[in-house]
Structure 1
Amino acid sequence: MHDTAAPITVISSMATRQVLNDLADVYMQHAGQRVTVESVGGVAAARRIEDNEVFDVVVLASDVIARLAEAGRVDATSRVGIARSGIAVAVAAGAARPSIDSGAAVREAVLAARSIGYSTGPSGAHLVRLFEGWGIADAIASRIVQAPPGVAVGTLIARGEVELGFQQMSELIGVAGVDIVGPLPDDVQALTVFEGAVCATARAPAESRALLAFMAAPENDEIRQRYGMEPAR
């Protein structure tokens, strides 16, 4: 039996930081079990799991969790969808909001922007493919500002380093100095499913499975929605 005085340790990317912290707080009230969440850049989180750093649970994009499962770094049978997240567009607070009603409108907004910011995570990878597909990657290359791992695009917007920013909606909500224009339109949107799994190094595997079941449960959908996320079911 796991000592409830010892916290269940979770590592995640920044995209799920807020929702996991809220879920951890509710779980403490519900089960009396402490949970600590460390959120870092997704690439760094995956590397730490690959290096067998001791954590009970990892929450990352589903394709990364699949890779960790294949490598034996997480228990493949423990995988559970935590949330589905879309990409949003943001500008500095009070700045003019470009039209983003369609993919064509977003393309025009990007071409008109003095600087364009995106992350090193799944949303950034999607933007890179989108710009290449639109045939504008070379034209805007000098205006691209990629946020360093673990740094929110919203922070760069608020500082004035980025005029038009793209990131997971959950990472833009609540950032001071930033206005969210809205989600990317359906024709260019990409939804990322974030999954949780029990780590191979877990000290409390049974309790970790119970935590994951709680995090995925429908009664916690309001917490997901608070941060612009949907259930992954």
Structure 2
Amino acid sequence: MAACGGRGRPATRASSACGLPAWGSRCPDLAVKVGYKGQGDVMKTWSMAVVGLVGMLSLLAQGQVQTAQITVLAGMGVVSGVRDLAFGFEQMTGNKVIVRFEQTPDLNQKINSGAPADIAALQPQQVDVFIKDGKMVAGTRTNFAQAGVGVAVKTGARRPDISTVEAFKAAMLNAKSIGYSRGGSGIISANVMEKLGIADQLKARTKFIDGIPVAEVVAKGEVEIGLQQINVIIPVKGADYVGPLPTGLQETVKFAAAVLTVSKQPEVARAFLRFIASAKAAPLIRKSAMEPWH
């Protein structure tokens, strides 16, 4: 083996003093000597490399080299956060994540019937039931996000004072109508009214909203004040987010996800769950007005 500038005996496939193969060496003397004695081998190797590269590019062009694809089912309360997380996972891994929004009854039906999907994101107690029933894989439940409950009014309407428990109570009693969902945020809202001792007084003025964000009903002027998860209120046009429930009344709706037993890509699904529980996922969760929960 010859060192740079040396006069040693050339080899047909040697390594230079630079640590590079002779045909890629930056040591001119060695490269010349190898070219003199092993030019045929060098050209053969380069030809094989070019053929391999062309073949790989051809496969890519034909779509034959593909990354994995997984499908995540998510309900209204968490779908915005899951979409942001899916984008982050795609950017990091190159895998494709399809997020399907489902109303709770439809989501439950799809899980129970074994509809094609890899992950479902639900409230943790629902995940536990599906694991017990064999619809989700035991040991894969991953807690990842939570959202507080907030107040919405129609854009341009007077914003009520909800800064303290007493102010919030007065705002509810003065409202002509109040709307909340039957989901997690609706349960919290109903419990708040019970805690304040005003549930009976508000009963005739309370409207339960199914299937669409409460803020959409507020935006149409069908109810004066809406209560729902903050992350569900904020994106709705025509409604203004007033603020969160005051300290002492606030509770969060929590979300977990798990691998479905029908998953065709369980390893990629598990990788997605590890990602959504990681520190890298926290900014994406907060982007949609939610907070990490582990």
TM, length-normalised to structure 1: 0.92
- My pick for the range that moved more, 94-103 or 158-167, is 94-103
Q: What is the aligned-residue identity percentage?
A: 33
Letter in 1 for 2:119: V
CA distance in 2, matches of 1:4, 1:211: 18
Letter in 2 for 1:192: V
1:109-124 equivalences under 5 Å are 109-124=171-186
Alignment length (residue pairs): 230
Provide the residue aligned with 1:208 in structure 2.
Answer: 269
Which residue, 70, 79, 86 being the options, matches 1:17?
79
CA distance in 2, matches of 1:208, 1:86: 27
Letter in 2 for 1:199: L
Q: CA deviation digits over 1:48-96, x for unaligned, max 9? A: 2123223200001111111212222111201111211111111111211
Provide the residue aligned with 2:8 in structure 1.
Answer: none
- Given that 2:69 and 2:265 are in contact with CA atoms closer than 8 Å, whether structure 1 keeps it comes out as no
The reply on whether 1:129 has 2:195 as its aligned counterpart is no
CA distance in 2, matches of 1:24, 1:157: 30
- Given that 2:215 and 2:226 are in contact with CA atoms closer than 8 Å, whether structure 1 keeps it comes out as yes
CA distance in 2, matches of 1:170, 1:76: 29
CA distance in 2, matches of 1:41, 1:142: 26
CA distance in 1, matches of 2:176, 2:102: 28
The reply on whether 1:220 has 2:281 as its aligned counterpart is yes
Provide the residue aligned with 1:85 in structure 2.
Answer: 147
The reply on whether 1:76 has 2:161 as its aligned counterpart is no
CA positional deviation for 1:160: 0.9
Which residue, 60, 67, 77 being the options, matches 2:122?
60
Letter in 1 for 2:264: R
- Aligned to 1:78, the other structure's residue is in SS state coil
- Aligned to 2:193, the other structure's residue is in SS state helix
CA distance in 2, matches of 1:130, 1:185: 11
CA distance in 2, matches of 1:130, 1:229: 21
- Given that 1:87 and 1:184 are in contact with CA atoms closer than 8 Å, whether structure 2 keeps it comes out as yes
TM, length-normalised to structure 2: 0.74
- Given that 1:12 and 1:60 are in contact with CA atoms closer than 8 Å, whether structure 2 keeps it comes out as yes
CA positional deviation for 1:129: 2.1
Provide the residue aligned with 2:291 in structure 1.
Answer: 230
CA positional deviation for 1:138: 2.7
- Given that 1:169 and 1:227 are in contact with CA atoms closer than 8 Å, whether structure 2 keeps it comes out as no
Greater relative contact order, per chain length (Cα 8 Å cut-off, separation 6+): 1
Q: Which runs of 5+ in 1 are unaligned?
A: none
Which residue, 251, 256, 278 being the options, matches 1:190?
251
CA distance in 2, matches of 1:174, 1:46: 25
| Larger Cα-atom Rg | 2
The reply on whether 1:104 has 2:186 as its aligned counterpart is no
Provide the residue aligned with 2:7 in structure 1.
Answer: none
- Aligned to 1:186, the other structure's residue is in SS state coil
CA distance in 2, matches of 1:202, 1:191: 30
Q: CA deviation digits over 1:95-147, x for unaligned, max 9? A: 11111122232222111111111112101011122223333223222221211
CA distance in 2, matches of 1:107, 1:45: 35
Q: Which runs of 5+ in 2 are unaligned?
A: 1-64
CA positional deviation for 1:44: 3.2
Provide the residue aligned with 1:177 in structure 2.
Answer: 238
Letter in 2 for 1:218: A
- In 2 relative to 1, CA 199–105 (structure 1 residues): closer, same or farther, beyond 3 Å? same
Provide the residue aligned with 2:100 in structure 1.
Answer: 38
CA distance in 2, matches of 1:197, 1:121: 20
- In 2 relative to 1, CA 127–87 (structure 1 residues): closer, same or farther, beyond 3 Å? same
